[in-house]
Amino acid sequence: MKTNILSALALSFVAGSASAHASLDVSKTAPETSFKFVMRVTHGCDGQATHTVKIDIPEGLVSVKPMPKAGWDVSVETGPYARSYDYHGPKSEGAKSITWTNGTLEDWQYDEFVFRGYVSDAFAPGDTVYIPVVQTCESGENAWVELPQEGQPRPAHPAPTLSIIEGAGHSH
């Protein structure tokens, strides 16, 4: 019995990781909260090591800051928001993307790329936020950027998602 339970758990883990090659460690939060985004990248590109990971920041996630990562360089592309957001005063511009470069994530390894940000009032419970991720290898890339289309099968390379749920709001 113990072996069957462990086997079932192992199979569910493999099935889950096979369907989501870039995903958030925690994928639910309330609007108007600060949130720690932990993006998991579970493998390289067809046997090759990943050397660049770029995460596009959706409109409505504000005051985004990346966590430094040993062995990787990190840069942030900034620009104006579509509107101003209130988070410790008005915010009208900020991170549009974060890119970690010059690192090595071997195909047989997984790693996590971390940033924090404020989930603004642009989102309401029931919303799904898509966070595109592109990992680049020596020759090729894995672009986890596809969005689901109603009536269509699940995309082959889906963008990671954050579900917006009911909550207390206004946390740090």
Render pLDDT for 86-113 as a digit per residue (tens, 0 to 9): 999 999 999 999 999 999 999 999 999 9
- Any idea of the CA torsion for 15, 99, 55, 120, to the nearest 10 degrees? 130
CATH architecture for segment(s) 18-164 = Sandwich (2.60)
pLDDT at position 2: 38
- Any idea of the CA torsion for 124, 150, 141, 26, to the nearest 10 degrees? 30
The alpha carbon of 84 is separated from its chain's Cα centroid by a whole number of angstroms, namely: 23
pTM, entire model: 0.84
Block means of pLDDT (10 residues each) for the chain, 172 residues, are: 36 36 92 96 91 97 97 98 95 97 94 97 97 94 93 93 82 50
pLDDT at position 168: 61
